[in-house]
Structure formats: structure tokens, C-alpha cells
């Protein structure tokens, strides 16, 4: 390996720009004559729009236009789509309600946009938006799935009677029922996966421009996947044909899934730019972000796990109801189905699984993929029920898991997934050693002497990344293929540009992707430039989510590098009059093996572009592209162990020890991987202890609509993590990569809740485990102790 190659702990190339405030985000774009947009939003969770009177707003200073939904529809702008078709178990397609970028007659969640103001300044636009008079007829609203499914519940969409979007199933119901019937022991749990707000540091934003002479649009936007955005905007929303629409996602400050989707605001801004004849900018404020960024999770689940007399799992039955909010966001339908139920086998050999998933409309913000997307929900169910089962069976929770681990690969689960490689015991051993598992009872006793309740919790997660292959996801209902593209351009002087369809919004691609080139061509990463995020530069790509950029995006680069290397070798062999098979690439030079003859990358590249002396029939230039479609998902897995201490007087939980042992396959940059794990753990611990949406049951208002009430984890809420990796190489892609972006958020919540329930001696604890909930349980735990 070169100094900058695979496995090197190279500092991030992009950090200089971010740390010195030189990043260029959508809000940094300023165009001549640009107007500012403010949206008029619904204050009600469910209401009919009787009338919109913009006359007063139009009179206000600087106001250019007030635009309404009926105008948008009249101009032929299409409804927002959900890109993954799910069929109910009776074969009927999911029941999708129409979603116009600006509501025309009904609003279905607080914050839904009904009109937009374009003005000379942002302040003028805000002032005018407040002056737009809407006559509302308030309708009854529901915020929970139980209420929405109840007989007589308010109907949210005319297309979806009873608010049930689909009733889907997977697995073998008869076999699972039989396993549970005949089990020696069945563990049953009811759990809730709390609704979360993604809260990336940079809120969403859009700058839209229309060139009337060329009939061409440009959109700068906070997107994780600009090409998909262009495809959807073009093919479904009728903004413009693809060649007349350029989408640029410049520096993007975090996404966590929430920036995958094309939202109403971007659509409306593009339309408005043409309608008013000037470029427009919209930047979400934090309140708008809380109300309109797609939320995550929000499942309620009943699960039953059956064991034989030898404590081996015989069957697993899961019933889940998922809240999709008021509209079906772009990938919302896939999250509680194919991204969730397909992971219910966990790390375990399960002969039979049956899952039934119902998704439901409510008068809440739409829900879609958020860091982990389905896999955190699956892991929470599996790892909570394993822990509860171990307690019921009187077994060490690690021993029960170990007994049921999948140990032979490939392993076909009963729920589609075929695990390709892994060593689950290796991660468990690494985590056990690192936390000194055997020493826990002594630590618990010592904590007790200080009046603290100490608990330990384990979570052995498995997840699926690099969602693929395209043919398979297509057969499951996906509207897109899930491959990636790359182009490697060697410039005449030998520097290299890599164009990728992946998008970096915090992941560090500019460094890791350059490290791959450094490894392959022996050049320094400073001679490599990663180009991404612009549909005019990169031909096509699927973007970044689902921890796919390493396994899929880098594999595409690797394939393009194969082609570049092959051509460069041909040129070098020709120039040095050697056999092509004798050429080796070493330290940035092409050498004839066993001789001192060599040509630098610069010399070969220059020869390719001067074309004065190329092999007969060879085209000039040194530039190659590749598309890579994986053969399977990848399966990162690991073991997290956590220790908490509870102050029983206040219920305050302190996470005192947290060990993460992950198997991510081959690692390109350990420092970046650790950073991804740390961030994921913070989000997972946030979910378990602090974060959670609260809706007012009567009004449907989001009570937790600011950081004053929505509790984001902060540095002092977290321990100093001990993170480590074990490695089994992924056989499914040329680099052996599995993916690391979401594992922390997937694996950690059950570890926390298992530790807390261990400390408290009860299973009756829901996320977020707030101080008050924990205090009440600690009081109850104390009462019998006092009585003894």
C-alpha cells in the first residue's frame, strides 16, 4: 500500500474548507435579481382550505408574487411520488393519496405549504407570507396509528379508505405459527420505536434559476442524490426534460436520509423561477425543518420468539404498524417492509419467520428513511427480544445469542436475505474483552455502594448496505436501479479526476475515494480530485444513502480504474517496447518487471493525449467510465455492549462504558470509519435516551418543534467510546467493503435499553428513556428492596 492508500489514517482533504468556513453550500449561492421565497404553511394538522386571499400581501413592499397550489396544478406540475410499489398480502397495490407541492384544497399536517411568496428580501417575503389570509375549516386530526385505524377515524385521503396504506407480509406464516404452537418457550414483547427528527446541521435549501432563452433550469439544492432528483423532477413533476434541467448539490451539511427526497419546496421553487421570471432562493429555518423534513422510525410492534427445549430459536412472529405520516414520501413504503422485515433474522439461524406490516396515514409529518432506515427498527425488535428471552430462560444473554448465531456462510434466511460472510462470535469476543464483561458484577457492586444502579446491555446487530442488485430490487417494487457509476479521467499531465455518482455530505469521499486511486496507481491523494454532485459534470449516479458509497460507489471507481490501468499499461508497453504482461504499476510509475525501465504516470498520460506514438488502432486519451451493479447486499454486523449507571433519586442515566466492535469488511480509512461510528452511536444513544417527537393528541401540533424541547444528544451526554473492528472480507464486491455509515445508529438503541432494563429489573421501559420514566421504575425497583 502507498502512504495514502487503503487502510491509511489520512486526515480528510475536505476539512480545510469546512473548518475555515470556506465550504460552499446552497445558501451561499447568490444570483443577480434573485428573489426570496417564504411559504405560507398550515397551522392546522387537518383542514380544508376555503379561500386564499393574497390581496393584502401583494400590496406589501418588495412583494413580487404570491403563488397558489391551483396555479401550480394548472401549469401541469405533477404530484409528488413514492418510488417503491408495495402490494398488500391480498395483492392490491398500496393506496397512495395525491400530494401536490402546494396544497390545493386540504392540508394534512402542520407545516404543509399552501402558498408561496416571492419578494426582494427574505424579511419582506416572511412579512407578506403572514399577511396571506387563508380561510381554514378545521377537521379532526389523528397522530397515532392506533387512532388512525380505529373505526370512525377521520379519513385522511379519499384514495385510502380507513387510512391503511397497505397490509403486507413476508415469510411463512403456517410454519411460524406451528413453531410458536410447539415451542418449549415463547418470549413475547410489545415495543415502540420512537419517531425522530433527523436535524442535519444545514437545513434544506433551494436556489432555482430559469433561462428563458434556452428553456433551461438550474437547481442548487441540499440533496444526497442530485441525479435521482433530476430524474424525478423531470419524469414525474414535469419541470423540464432532463437535458434542460441541471441539478447541483454543492457542499451539503449532513443528510442522514432526510435529503434523499425531492420535497415540495424544491418543486415549487423551480416552478416559481419560471413563473415570476427571476431566480429564487428558499432556505428552511429550523422550525420549518422540524415540521417538514421527513421524520424517521415510528413503529409499534408485537413480537414472539419461539425456542425449543435446547434454547434454539424455532420461529419468530412479528406484527408491526408503521406511521408514514400525512403523505407517502419518496422511499417511505420500502422502509418498514424490505429494509426492515428482511433483517428480522438478525445474526441468528431462524428456521421460520413471519412478519406482517401495516402502514398508516396520520396527520403528521411524512416519515421516510433516517440513518439506518428499517434496520434500526428490526435490530431493536430482535435484540430486545433476545435479551428478554435470555432473562426469562435464565441464561447469560451472550450465551443465548452465541448458541443461535449463524456460523456458516452463505446463509439463506427465511426473509429474502442471503448473508455472504461474517464472524459474529469474533465481534462478541472483541467487545466482551474490551468491556471486561466478566468484571461487570464487581463494577455493579461498587456502583451500588455509591447508591447507583448499574446495568449492562448487549446488542448484536446485522444490517444490509449497498441495497442491490438492481434486478432484485426492481422485482421487489423499486422504481430505480441501485447501481453506481464512475469515470476516471487522467489529465495530460498525469493528475486524476474521479467523477462519481455518489454524493458526499459529511462522509469524507474526497479523501477515501482518492485513497483508492492512490492505492491502485501509486499516486499521492493530492493529485486526485473527486468530482460529484452536479448533473452537468457526472453523467448519472444514484447518490449516497444506505451506506452504499463504499461498497457500490467505490466499486464502480475500481472498475473504471481497471480499464484505465489496462490502457495505460498497453501504452507503456508500447513505448518501452515490452510485453504488456511484463508491466507493473508501482509508486506511480509503469515499470518493466525485472528491468530498470520505467515511465511515470505523467509520461504515459502525456503520450495518451499527444497520440504521437500509440499502439495501432488505439484511441487517444486516457479516460474510462464504469457502471457497477452489485450482486448482493453487504452485511455489516457487530456487537455493542454498554453499561449505564442510574441515579435512582432523579432517574438520570449516565452511559459509563460503551464498546463497539464492528465488522465492516475492508476499511479504507480507519479514522473516517471511527468518525462514522461515533456519529451513529450519538444518534442511537440519542434515540434511546433523549430524542422523540411528541404530538399534541388533540390539535396535532408538534410539541417538540425546537431544540428547546426536542432533545438532541450533546457531547456531555456521551461517554468516550471504545470502538474497534473485526474483519471478514465482503465477497460481493471487488474491494471487500461492507459499509459503516449507519451501524452505530442501528446497533446502539437496544444496547442502551437492555442495559437500563438490566439495572432496573423490569422490561417495561420505552424509548426515549427519559429521566422521569427511569425514576419511576427505579422507585418501583426500590420498594421491594426496602421491604426485604
Partner 1 sequence: MYATNYHRAGSVDEAAGLLAGNDEAKVLAGGQTLIPTMKQRLAAPTDVVDISRIEALRGIEKSGDAYVIKAGTRHADVAGDAGLKADIPGLAALAGKIGDPHVRHRGTIGGSIANNDPAADYPAGMLALGATIVTNKREIAADEFFAGLFETALEEDEIVTAVRVPVPAKSAYSKFPNPASRYAMAGVFVAKFADGSVRVAATGAGADGVFRIPEMESALASNWSPEAVAGIAVDASGLLGDIHGSAEYRANLVTVMAKRAVAAA
- The residues that touch partner 1, with contacts defined as CB under 8 A, are 123, 126-127, 130, 287, 649-652, 690, 694, 703-704, 707-712, 717, 770-772, 775-776
Place of cell 434511546: 688
Nearest CA among 460, 422, 370, 343 for reference residue 664: 422
Task: Supply the minimum distance, in Å, between the C-beta of residue 290 and partner 1.
Answer: 12
Task: Supply the minimum distance, in Å, between the C-beta of residue 694 and partner 1.
Answer: 5
Q: What is the largest CA-CA distance in the chain?
A: 94
17 vs 126, which CB is nearer to partner 1? 126
346 vs 651, which CB is nearer to partner 1? 651
87 vs 776, which CB is nearer to partner 1? 776
> Distance between CA 361 and CA 109 in Å, rounded?
11
CA 636 to the chain's CA centroid: 15
650 vs 762, which CB is nearer to partner 1? 650
Q: How far apart, in Å, are the Cα atoms of 676 and each of 256, 258, 371, 740, 776?
A: 11, 17, 11, 7, 35
Task: Supply the minimum distance, in Å, between the C-beta of residue 703 and partner 1.
Answer: 6
Task: Supply the minimum distance, in Å, between the C-beta of residue 60 and partner 1.
Answer: 12
Task: Supply the minimum distance, in Å, between the C-beta of residue 777 and partner 1.
Answer: 12
Task: Supply the minimum distance, in Å, between the C-beta of residue 506 and partner 1.
Answer: 23
Q: How far apart, in Å, are the Cα atoms of 438 and each of 424, 429, 552, 720, 747?
A: 19, 12, 40, 21, 22
159 vs 696, which CB is nearer to partner 1? 696
622 vs 682, which CB is nearer to partner 1? 682
122 vs 440, which CB is nearer to partner 1? 122
Query: Helix, strand, or coil here: 239?
Result: coil
Which residues are 640's β-sheet partners?
A: 459, 660
Nearest CA among 94, 236, 115, 95 for reference residue 156: 95
Task: Supply the minimum distance, in Å, between the C-beta of residue 690 and partner 1.
Answer: 6
What are the counts of helices (DSSP H) followed by strands (DSSP E) for the chain? 20, 28
Nearest CA among 271, 257, 262 for reference residue 221: 262
First CA to last CA distance, the chain:
64
13 vs 295, which CB is nearer to partner 1? 295
Q: b/e per residue, 642-656, with b = 16+ CB within 10 A?
A: bbbbbbbeebebebe
H-helix or E-strand containing 395? Answer: none
Task: Supply the minimum distance, in Å, between the C-beta of residue 722 and partner 1.
Answer: 24
Task: Supply the minimum distance, in Å, between the C-beta of residue 272 and partner 1.
Answer: 23
> Distance between CA 465 and CA 676 in Å, rounded?
14
Query: Helix, strand, or coil here: 556?
Result: helix
79 vs 704, which CB is nearer to partner 1? 704
> Distance between CA 226 and CA 681 in Å, rounded?
28
214 vs 716, which CB is nearer to partner 1? 716
| Nearby residues of 549 by Cβ (< 8 Å), 6 or more positions away | 484, 502, 503, 504, 507, 509, 741
Residue 718: DSSP 8-state? S
Task: Supply the minimum distance, in Å, between the C-beta of residue 776 and partner 1.
Answer: 8
Amino acid at each position: 500500500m502507498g502512504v495514502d492508500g487503503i487502510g491509511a489514517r489520512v486526515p480528510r482533504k475536505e476539512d480545510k474548507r469546512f473548518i475555515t468556513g470556506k465550504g460552499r453550500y446552497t445558501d451561499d449561492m447568490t444570483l443577480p435579481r434573485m428573489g426570496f421565497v417564504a411559504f405560507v404553511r398550515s397551522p392546522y394538522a387537518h383542514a380544508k382550505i376555503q379561500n386564499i386571499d393574497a390581496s393584502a400581501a401583494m400590496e406589501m413592499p418588495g412583494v413580487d408574487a404570491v403563488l397558489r397550489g391551483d396555479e401550480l396544478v394548472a401549469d401541469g406540475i405533477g404530484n409528488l411520488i413514492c418510488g417503491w410499489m408495495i402490494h398488500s398480502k391480498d395483492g392490491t397495490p398500496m393506496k397512495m393519496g395525491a400530494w401536490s407541492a402546494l396544497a390545493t384544497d386540504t392540508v394534512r399536517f402542520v407545516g404543509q405549504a399552501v402558498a408561496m411568496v416571492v419578494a426582494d428580501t427574505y424579511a419582506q417575503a416572511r412579512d407578506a407570507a403572514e399577511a396571506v389570509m387563508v380561510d381554514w375549516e378545521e377537521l379532526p386530526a389523528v397522530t397515532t396509528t392506533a387512532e388512525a385505524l380505529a373505526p370512525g377515524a377521520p379519513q385522511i385521503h379519499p384514495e385510502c379508505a380507513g387510512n391503511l396504506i397497505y397490509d403486507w407480509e413476508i415469510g411463512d406464516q403456517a410454519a411460524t405459527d406451528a413453531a410458536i404452537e410447539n415451542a418449549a418457550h415463547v418470549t413475547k414483547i410489545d415495543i415502540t420505536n420512537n419517531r425522530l427528527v433527523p436535524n442535519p446541521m444545514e437545513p434544506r435549501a433551494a436556489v432555482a434559476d430559469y433561462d428563458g432563452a434556452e428553456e433551461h433550469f438550474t437547481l442548487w439544492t441540499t440533496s444526497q442524490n442530485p441525479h435521482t432528483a433530476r430524474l424525478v423532477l423531470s419524469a414525474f413533476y414535469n419541470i423540464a426534460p432532463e437535458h434542460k434541467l441541471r441539478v447541483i448539490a454543492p457542499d451539503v451539511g449532513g443528510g442522514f436520509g432526510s435529503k434523499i427526497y425531492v420535497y415540495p419546496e424544491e418543486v415549487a421553487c423551480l416552478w416559481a423561477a419560471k413563473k415570476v421570471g427571476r431566480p429564487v432562493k428558499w432556505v428552511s429555518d429550523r422550525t420549518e425543518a422540524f415540521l417538514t423534513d421527513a421524520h424517521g422510525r415510528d413503529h409499534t410492534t408485537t413480537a414472539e420468539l419461539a425456542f425449543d427445549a435446547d434454547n434454539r430459536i424455532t420461529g419468530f412472529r412479528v406484527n408491526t404498524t408503521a406511521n408514514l405520516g400525512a403523505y407517502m414520501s419518496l422511499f417511505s413504503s420500502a422502509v418498514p417492509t424490505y429494509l426492515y422485515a428482511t433483517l428480522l433474522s438478525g445474526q441468528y439461524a431462524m428456521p421460520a419467520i413471519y412478519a406482517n406490516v401495516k402502514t398508516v396515514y396520520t396527520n403528521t409529518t411524512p416519515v421516510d428513511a433516517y440513518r439506518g432506515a428499517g434496520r434500526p427498527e428490526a435490530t431493536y425488535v430482535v435484540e430486545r427480544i433476545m435479551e428478554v428471552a435470555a432473562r426469562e430462560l435464565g441464561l447469560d444473554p451472550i450465551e443465548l445469542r452465541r448458541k443461535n448465531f449463524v456460523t456458516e456462510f452463505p446463509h439463506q434466511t427465511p426473509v429474502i436475505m442471503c448473508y455472504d460472510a461474517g464472524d459474529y462470535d469474533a465481534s462478541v469476543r472483541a467487545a466482551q474483552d474490551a468491556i471486561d464483561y466478566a468484571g461487570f458484577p464487581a463494577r455493579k457492586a461498587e456502583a451500588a455502594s455509591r447508591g447507583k444502579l448499574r446495568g449492562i446491555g448487549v446488542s448484536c446487530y446485522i444490517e444490509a448496505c449497498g441495497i442491490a442488485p438492481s434486478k432484485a430490487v426492481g422485482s421487489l417494487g423499486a422504481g430505480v436501479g441501485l447501481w453506481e457509476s464512475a469515470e476516471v479521467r487522467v489529465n495530460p499531465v498525469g493528475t486524476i479526476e474521479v467523477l462519481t455518482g455518489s454524493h458526499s455530505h459529511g462522509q469524507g469521499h474526497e479523501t477515501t475515494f482518492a485513497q483508492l486511486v492512490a492505492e491502485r496507481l501509486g499516486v499521492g491523494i493530492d493529485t486526485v480530485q473527486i468530482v460529484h454532485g452536479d448533473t452537468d459534470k457526472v453523467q448519472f449516479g444514484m447518490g449516497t444513502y444506505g451506506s452504499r458509497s463504499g461498497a457500490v460507489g467505490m466499486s464502480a471507481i475500481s472498475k473504471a480504474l481497471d480499464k484505465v490501468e489496462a490502457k495505460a499499461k498497453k501504452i507503456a508497453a508500447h513505448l518501452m517496447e515490452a510485453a504488456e504482461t511484463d508491466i507493473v504499476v508501482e509508486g506511480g510509475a509503469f515499470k518493466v518487471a525485472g528491468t530498470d525501465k520505467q515511465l511515470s504516470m505523467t509520461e504515459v498520460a502525456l503520450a495518451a493525449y499527444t497520440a504521437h506514438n500509440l499502439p495501432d488502432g488505439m484511441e487517444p486519451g486516457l479516460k474510462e467510465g464504469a457502471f457497477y451493479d452489485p450482486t448482493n447486499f453487504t452485511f455489516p454486523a457487530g456487537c455493542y455492549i454498554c453499561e449505564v449507571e442510574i441515579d435512582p433519586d432523579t432517574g438520570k442515566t449516565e452511559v459509563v462504558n460503551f464498546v463497539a466492535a464492528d465488522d465492516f469488511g475492508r476499511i479504507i480509512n480507519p479514522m473516517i470509519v471511527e468518525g462514522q461510528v461515533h456519529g451513529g452511536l450519538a444518534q442511537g444513544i440519542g434515540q434511546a435516551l433523549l430524542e422523540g417527537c411528541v404530538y399534541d393528541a388533540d390539535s396535532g401540533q408538534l410539541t417538540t418543534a425546537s431544540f428547546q424541547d426536542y432533545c438532541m444528544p450533546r457531547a456531555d451526554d456521551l461517554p468516550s467510546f471504545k470502538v474497534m473492528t473485526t474483519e471478514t472480507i465482503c465477497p460481493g464486491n471487488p474491494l471487500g467493503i461492507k459499509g459503516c455509515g449507519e451501524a452505530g445508529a442501528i446497533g446502539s438503541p437496544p444496547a442502551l435499553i437492555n442495559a437500563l432494563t438490566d439495572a432496573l429489573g423490569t422490561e417495561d421501559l420505552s424509548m426515549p428513556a427519559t429521566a422521569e420514566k427511569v425514576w419511576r421504575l427505579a422507585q418501583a425497583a426500590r420498594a421491594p428492596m426496602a421491604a426485604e
